[in-house]
A and B are shown apart, each in its own frame.
Chain A
Amino acid sequence: MKALSQKRRHPLAAIALLLMGLLITGGLYAVATTVNEAKASTTSYSADDVEEGGKLFAANCATCHGMGASGTDAGPSLVGVGAASVDFQVGTGRMPMQMNGPQAMKKPVQFNDEQTNQLAAYVASLGAGPAIPEEGLLDEGGDAAAGGELFRVNCAMCHNAAAAGGALTRGKFAPALADVSGKHIYEAMVTGPQNMPVFSDSNITPEDKRDIITFLKQIETTGSPGGADLGSLGPVAEGLFVWVAGLGVIIAFTIWLTSRTS
């Protein structure tokens, strides 16, 4: 302790202090942010997967994302986006992107599961990021009611309370969530694809995400108790239906009723 106090007026003391401060705050920040990526790349991919993935990447993705996924003017860097992001974007067919537009559209999947996995392995090897969620979080065994409340507070403003989708600005949109697998819903929440915000694990815990998936799957399997749901689009669809079908049928009857006598 004495040596330290003697050297406190050393010309480099201030710099040493500054360095120490930076290291501490930097280190704390690193720890704090990795909480959100607690499950970052825990699944280990074989060197083979990474190598094959690299080849696939160079052939299919590098045009836009650059060699080594470092990004170009046409596409962002993928260093640190994690395996979950690749699994979502490639697994739903959004990547490779068909054309530029307000957002990448869903389309038939271009790679099989193995190739998707290899691509994910490659991107995951470039930097730590959210990993593909474990099966246990996707088993739809959560609390649907709690998930419903979370969904209405966090998701419904874009995706619609019945998960029927909705419009965003300038041609962007939040898609309908029926027929989306639990895995992809989870990955979308942790990676925030397209215009979606990231719902990190400190924002919505993995268990809460499981509840949301449970809720979505439950309303999907429950179906519509009151008959055909008209797209679950609310009063616009109902209004259109009453004007076109309801009044249409009634007009047909009025014509029938008044055609007999004259």
Chain B
Amino acid sequence: MSAASTAEPAFVAKTKTGRVTDFVDQRVGGSGILREFGRKVFPDHWSFMFGEVALYSFVILLLSGTFLTFFFDPSMAETHYDGSYVPLKGVEMSVAYSSSLDISFDIRGGLFMRQVHHWAALLFVASIAVHMLRVFFTGAFRKPREMNWVVGSVLLILAMAAGFTGYSLPDDLLSGNGLRIIDGVIKSIPVIGTYISFFLFGGEFPGTAVIGRLYMLHILLVPALILLMIVLHLFMVVVHKHTQYPGPGRNDNNVVGYPLGPVYAAKAGGFFFIVFGVLALMAGFFTINPIWNYGPYDPSPVSAGTQPDWYIGFVDGALRLMPGTFGDWQVEQTWLGFVFSFNVLLPALVPAGILFTVMFMYPWIERWITKDDREHHVLDRPRNAPTRTAIGMAGFVWYCVMWAAAGSDLIATHFSVSLNDVTYWLRALFFIGPIIAFIVTKRVALALQRKDREIALHGRETGRIVRLPHGEFIEVHAPLDEYKRYKLVGFESPEVLPAVPNEHGVVTRKEKRRAFLSKWFFEDRVAPASPAELEAAHGHGHGHEAVEAQESAKSLSR
């Protein structure tokens, strides 16, 4: 009794809702979590929202996918179609295909859900890709976010895996052709390839097991892994805090933006419905994967224009670009009685392998070259890291060449050019495209930096030409306000780090290589305008200001 009297009177909420809330709060500590999360600050920029788009697409995928599982039957048993799509009536097909057709034609809202699911899948991977490009080009993968970059890269691969396993499920001609290519790629792996293929398909392709197996991967394992990775990803975003673009008052020790509650919570919630709405409109008005066009899978026919979904396209394109022979030399070789299908193995695995390896390792590569162990929360403008931007563009162009090659037949028919010529050009671009992209991007970035420097020092060109009393013509430059100028001068411009001896006084070969790369990275640089330079330019600018004063005086006197 005495304990109760000394304690503060217990808080009693006035309304019923308040009492329920209080009850829950006392048991799970919700208000503490909300206080912590609600004050999380997020900077505002449109390019920061692609990760959100990916997340929302994933939620939509889960919702629409759950609907589809109610009606889809992943069986490869044979049946005769008896649904309402007349051109396939009585055709022999698998139960999987038949149930996909039923979802499309005989289940209310089924076709819409299928199309929402498929469009959301395409958008999911596309928004992940754009998000990763944003992170790369702004240098957001630097310390402390290297591991989150890896988690994100794993998410990209998982998203591709989810997409591909889903693409194969309806067992139509298109997806069967796609599976056949995967089967071919697997079989091209020396020695063990055939065994892996037999293991996967439960015997000779296509067998009767693969759809059921892919279904389990598609609805259970892959989404669970994606969910796990998303949790890790978001957890690390909270731990690291969000990055921000450079600007006045922004530095590596703060985050300038709006708190999660209420502004961002409202925005993010609203944005979910916007993404949902866009996908729903797309699904309502534009057909995707019209499986009824393709017919049931049968290993003999292959349709013209057979392509994978866009995110697997670059692998398909690399396969299309690979020549089968060089002159008289066959790329496919028989050694010791074993066939080595390098014509399939090389294009299918090597470019993707290089892309993903570099992608995973890039944060560490740059860290090694720059010896930069500081935390970075302020992003780089892409132009202010010319070599990184150029490397990114080279990789991007390389990817796009392979990507375009996957549509080589459609490029040929729609632009009335020869399919062979398209292939020859793309083969050439496969090698020289990245080099051209690197050089051009680096030069453009440096040129933009010079322009920035010029504007910071001398102001913006107004296009007004003024004739001075003694006859000289000058162009009036409008001085920049401080906030805008900060953006143009407030960035880091690392210099070449020459090789330094280690603790034994030896310059190791590895250190020399690092120094060489550092030179390659930072040799060409445009230093930001220093305060002294600005001061000097400001003094120099007095002439202009005088002119402007005269100008305004003149216009006043008129």
Contacts and interface: CB of A to CB of B under 8 A. Distances in A.
Interface of A: 102, 144-145, 148-149, 152-153, 156-162, 164-171, 173-174, 215, 218-219, 222, 224-230, 232-239, 241-243, 245-247, 249-251, 253-255, 257-259, 261-262
B303 interface: yes
B542 interface: no
B87 A161 contact: no
Chain B: interface secondary structure?
Answer: helix
B305 A238 contact: no
B409 interface: yes
Contact of A145 (B88, B130, B288): B88
Interface stretch (B45-53, B345-353, B374-382, B533-541): B45-53
B280 to A, nearest CB: 12
Given A145-B91, A224-B287, A225-B287, A257 B267 contact: yes
Given A257-B271, A258-B46, A247 B130 contact: yes
14 contacts: A102-B418, A152-B295, A162-B290, A170-B420, A171-B418, A228-B287, A235-B310, A239-B309, A241-B282, A242-B123, A246-B119, A246-B122, A247-B126, A251-B46
Contact of B126 (A218, A222, A242): A242
A50 B416 CA distance: 38
Contacts of A249: 278
Contact of A161 (B50, B53, B173, B283): B173
Interface size class of B (residues with CB under 8 A): 35 or more
A258 B174 contact: no
Given A161-B303, A162-B293, A241 B286 contact: yes
Count chain B CB atoms within 10 A of each CB in A219, A227, A228, A234 and give the residue with the most.
Answer: A234
Contacts of B420: 169-170
Contacts of B267: 257
A166 B413 contact: yes
Contact of A166 (B105, B263, B290, B409): B409
A83 to B, nearest CB: 30
B290 A145 contact: no
Nearest to A246: B123
Nearest to B88: A145
A251 B284 CA distance: 20
Interface in B289-314: 289-290, 292-295, 298, 300-310, 313
Nearest to B90: A145
Contacts of B553: none
Contacts of A226: 104, 111, 115, 286-288, 290
B123 A161 contact: no
A107 to B, nearest CB: 14
A261 B263 contact: yes
Given A228-B286, A254-B46, A257-B267, 17 more contacts: A102-B418, A156-B303, A157-B301, A157-B304, A161-B293, A161-B295, A162-B294, A165-B413, A167-B419, A236-B307, A236-B310, A241-B282, A242-B119, A246-B119, A250-B127, A251-B46, A259-B46
A144 B295 CA distance: 12
Contacts of A259: 46
A235 B126 CA distance: 14
A165 to B, nearest CB: 6
Contacts of A236: 305, 307, 310, 313, 406-407, 410
Nearest to B410: A236
B278 A160 contact: no
Interface string B265-288: 001001100110011001111111
A149 B87 CA distance: 10
Count chain A CB atoms within 10 A of each CB in B87, B174, B270 and give the residue with the most.
Answer: B87
Contacts of B48: 258
A243 B418 CA distance: 26
Nearest to B308: A235
B151 interface: no
B294 to A, nearest CB: 5
A234 B122 CA distance: 13
B313 A215 contact: no
A164 B174 CA distance: 14
Interface string B197-227: 0000000000000000000000000000000
A159 to B, nearest CB: 6
Contacts of B284: 227
B293 A232 contact: yes
Nearest to A151: B295
B39 interface: no
Interface in B398-440: 406-410, 412-413, 416-420
